[in-house]
Amino acid sequence: MLKVGLTGNIGSGKTTVAKVFELLGIPVFYADDEAKKVMVTDAILIAAIKQAFGVVSYFDDGSLNRKHISAIVFNNPAELEKLNALVHPAVFRAFDKLESDAKDAPYIIREAAILFESGSYKTCDRTLIVTAPFEKRMARVVERDNIAIAEVEKREARQMPEEEKKKLADDIIINDDVQLVIPQVIALHEKYLSLANTL
């Protein structure tokens, strides 16, 4: 089965693109959503988080004490790195499960904001980036999240620059509100189907 990694910097529209692939019947793994999910469902990860950050990391009902975790990792790169090192293997386990559940699909999409930064692109056969001009991306996020432009720029600064990702990616979708996205997705869908047939 062909594995396609899908990424894009903040405000690029990668989730919208992922939804179009889903409409075409392709299973999509949303890494960020899964990361939140495994923190309360994966027993191995829960035990590791309690050991690393204390039993108060979870409430009695099993939900994550986000305030406690945030206070530790916020503005502390070493602690954030420690948390990510625990979460990533659990996300990989969840992806493996989707892959085995979707074995009849010609290909699957792994959607992740930090596909290149986390190294998970190495587990993909191809990588796809959704791009858009910087000002357009910033404006979209300000409108979507109702936050100040300075906050969006801070988030953007934490991601690998789009230009670097474009050099690493095999395929590009331009989401600049000028070129239509759906025809670009359909063209790639056809390409991935034919690639999947050669595996």
Domain that holds residue 52: 32-101
Q: What is the pLDDT of residues 3-17, one digit of tens each?
A: 999 999 999 999 999
Structure-token pair, residue 168: 């690493």
Give burial (CB, 10 Å; 0-12/13-18/19+) of 124: buried
* Pairwise CA distance, residues 90 & 87, whole Å: 5
Q: Compute the residue count for the chain.
A: 199
pLDDT category of residue 158 using cuts at 50, 70 and 90: confident
Query: In terms of domains, do 123 and 178 share one?
Result: yes
CATH no. for residue 62? 3.40.50.300
Q: Which of 101, 135, 162 is the last residue of a domain?
A: 101
CA pair distance 87, 191, nearest whole angstrom:
33
Per-residue pLDDT band at 144 (split at 50, 70, 90): very high
Are both 63 and 39 inside the same structural domain?
A: yes
Residues 131 and 186 in one domain: yes
User: In the Cβ-directed half-sphere of 31, how many Cα atoms lie within 13 Å?
Assistant: 25
Is 192's pLDDT higher than 90?
A: yes
Mean pLDDT, residues 168-183: 96
Whether 76 and 115 map to the same domain: the answer is no
The pTM of this model reads 0.87
- For 110-143, the pLDDT digits (tens) are 999 889 988 889 999 999 999 999 999 999 999 9
Q: Give the model's pLDDT for residue 108.
A: 97
Give yes or no: residues 122 and 179 share one domain. Answer: yes
Please determine, for residue 155, whether its predicted confidence score (pLDDT) is greater than 90: no
Beta strands in the chain, from DSSP E residues, in sequence order: 2-7, 28-30, 107-111, 126-131, 171-174
The residue type at 52 = A
* Predicted local confidence at residue 118, as pLDDT: 83
Residues 17 and 53 in one domain: no
State the burial class of residue 195 (Cβ atoms within 10 Å of its Cβ: 0-12, 13-18, 19+). Answer: middle
Domain termination residue (choose one: 56, 76, 101): 101
Question: Same domain for 182 and 91?
Answer: no
Give the three-state DSSP class for 58: strand
Residues 22-70 have pLDDT tens digits of 999 999 999 989 999 999 999 999 999 999 999 999 999 999 999 999 9
Task: Give ∠ CA 149-127-82 in degrees, rounded to 5.
Answer: 65
Give the chain's domain count.
2
Domain closes at, from 101, 129, 146: 101
Please say whether the dihedral angle defined by the alpha carbons of residues 176, 180, 185 and 191, taken in this order, is positive or negative: negative
Strand partners, 6: 111, 128
59-105, pLDDT tens digit by residue?
999 999 999 999 999 888 899 989 989 998 899 889 999 999 998 99
Is there a contact between 83 and 1 (Cβ–Cβ < 8 Å)? Answer: no
| 21 in the same domain as 46 | no
Q: Rounded CA gap, 7 and 15, in Å? A: 9
Higher pLDDT, 127 or 198: 127
Q: 11 and 79, same structural domain?
A: no
Q: Are residues 115 and 76 in the same domain?
A: no
In this structure, the answer to whether residues 110 and 180 fall within a common structural domain is: yes
Say whether both 94 and 141 belong to one domain.
no
